[in-house]
């Protein structure tokens, strides 16, 4: 392994990672082009439902101006008795696992959907509660992971980064730990260590977990294999770091214990599954990409997409019947 200058990328909890300058969408030069993707009726249905959901989110929560068509669409949806009935009526919606993750019976936006949680996730009121011994132990272990910076002088950190490369581009030899090849994965420069300042080693662990446990979804997002992609695409690796940072904020993990409803419910899931944060990361990344396609977004809209993704995850984590990670509607995206 080539020699590298020992540098420790310190994590600063108040400094979110930034996306690099935009780069044109495309695979690295040594990979074959992605398979041709024909837009089927099923795919159109999925994207249509996702886009409909996104527009409703904007109208109700972001305050975007409504066009005449958006008002008409909202009225139709608001007066539809059941999403399930609507989906069964049209043959276009016979198969819709992506759309169902967004507008299934367990998902809700205000009073639009047919099930709600028992408490509002967006309330500013802090909730007090007592952690069980198992919850406290699992939360403490996760918080310890948050405090580990990426240190390129550590052999295990370098090996983890090399493993990520090998799982991303199997059969492609990395010329060095400092190499322009890293840009093909979506890092800002030739040394990925400089990108870990926002979340430290945890963000690399998240990417590794995604690649190992959901390789099909990981490669679909990495190689931008599905959908009508933007000319200026989001860089995969740095976007992944932003997803990690977003989840840390959303779940209030820097506090002694989460005080928001999504964070409180997450701690319960963490007690049942020690990998809950890593699984949630995979869900969030897949959901972010689905929102990206639904919003027909480009590089400058990445933060908007991430915000909509966060809002959807907050709602799903606030549902009262989520007992395991697989109960989250967006889990269907993996």
Confirm whether 68 is domain-assigned.
no
Q: Which long-range contacts (CB under 8 A, 24 or more apart) does 7-10 make?
A: 7/151, 7/152, 7/153, 7/193, 7/194, 8/149, 8/150, 8/151, 8/152, 8/153, 9/149, 9/150, 9/151, 9/152, 9/193, 9/194, 9/195, 9/196, 9/197, 9/200, 10/149, 10/197, 10/200
DSSP state of 298: -
Closest CA to 274 of 131, 139, 145: 139
- Give residue for tokens 């933007």: 230
Residue-averaged pLDDT of the chain: 74
- pLDDT tens per residue, range 209-260: 999 999 999 999 999 888 778 778 899 999 999 999 999 999 999 999 999 9
Confirm whether 42 is domain-assigned.
no
pTM of this structure: 0.68
Confirm whether 153 is domain-assigned.
yes
Number of domains in the chain: 1
| Structural domain range at position 306 | 125-333
Confirm whether 72 is domain-assigned.
no
Confirm whether 155 is domain-assigned.
yes
- pLDDT tens per residue, range 11-52: 444 445 555 544 444 333 333 333 333 334 444 455 455 555
Confirm whether 9 is domain-assigned.
no
Task: Answer whether 184's CB lies under 8 Å from 169's CB.
Answer: yes
Confirm whether 63 is domain-assigned.
no
Confirm whether 31 is domain-assigned.
no
Residue 170 zone, left/alpha/beta (φ > 0; ψ -120 to 50; rest): beta
Q: What is the DSSP string of 90-114?
A: SGGGSS-HHHHHHHSTT--STTSSS
Query: Which H helix or E strand runs over 9?
Result: strand 8-9
- pLDDT tens per residue, range 148-185: 999 999 999 999 999 999 999 999 999 999 999 999 99
């Amino acid at each position: 392994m080539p020699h590298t200058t020992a540098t420790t990328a310190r994590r600063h909890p108040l400094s979110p990672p930034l996306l690099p300058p935009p780069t044109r969408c495309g695979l690295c030069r040594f990979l074959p082009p992605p398979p041709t993707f024909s837009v089927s009726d099923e795919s159109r249905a999925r994207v249509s439902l996702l886009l409909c959901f996104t527009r409703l989110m904007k109208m109700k929560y972001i305050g975007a101006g409504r066009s005449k068509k958006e008002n008409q669409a909202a009225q139709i949806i608001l007066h539809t008795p059941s999403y399930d009935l609507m989906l069964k009526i049209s043959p276009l919606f016979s198969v819709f696992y992506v759309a169902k993750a967004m507008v299934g019976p367990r998902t809700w936006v205000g009073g639009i959907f047919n099930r709600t949680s028992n408490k509002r996730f967006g309330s500013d009121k802090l909730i007090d509660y007592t952690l069980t011994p198992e919850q406290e132990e699992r939360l403490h272990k996760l918080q310890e992971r948050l405090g580990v910076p990426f240190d390129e002088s550590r052999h295990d950190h370098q090996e983890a980064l090399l493993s990520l490369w090998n799982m991303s581009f199997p059969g492609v030899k990395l010329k060095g730990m400092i190499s322009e090849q890293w840009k093909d994965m979506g890092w800002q420069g030739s040394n990925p260590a400089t990108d870990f300042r926002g979340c430290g080693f945890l963000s690399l662990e998240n990417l590794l977990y995604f690649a190992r446990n959901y390789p099909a979804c990981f490669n679909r997002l990495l190689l931008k294999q599905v959908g009508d992609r933007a000319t200026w695409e989001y860089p995969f690796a740095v976007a992944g770091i932003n997803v990690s940072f977003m989840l840390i904020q959303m779940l209030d993990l820097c506090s002694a214990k989460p005080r928001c409803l999504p964070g409180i419910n997450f701690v319960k899931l963490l007690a049942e599954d020690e990998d809950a944060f890593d699984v949630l990361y995979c869900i969030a990344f897949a959901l972010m990409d689905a929102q990206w396609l639904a919003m027909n977004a480009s590089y400058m809209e990445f933060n908007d997409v991430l915000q909509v993704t966060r809002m959807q995850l907050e709602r799903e984590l606030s549902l009262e019947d989520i007992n395991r990670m697989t109960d989250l509607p967006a889990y269907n995206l993996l």
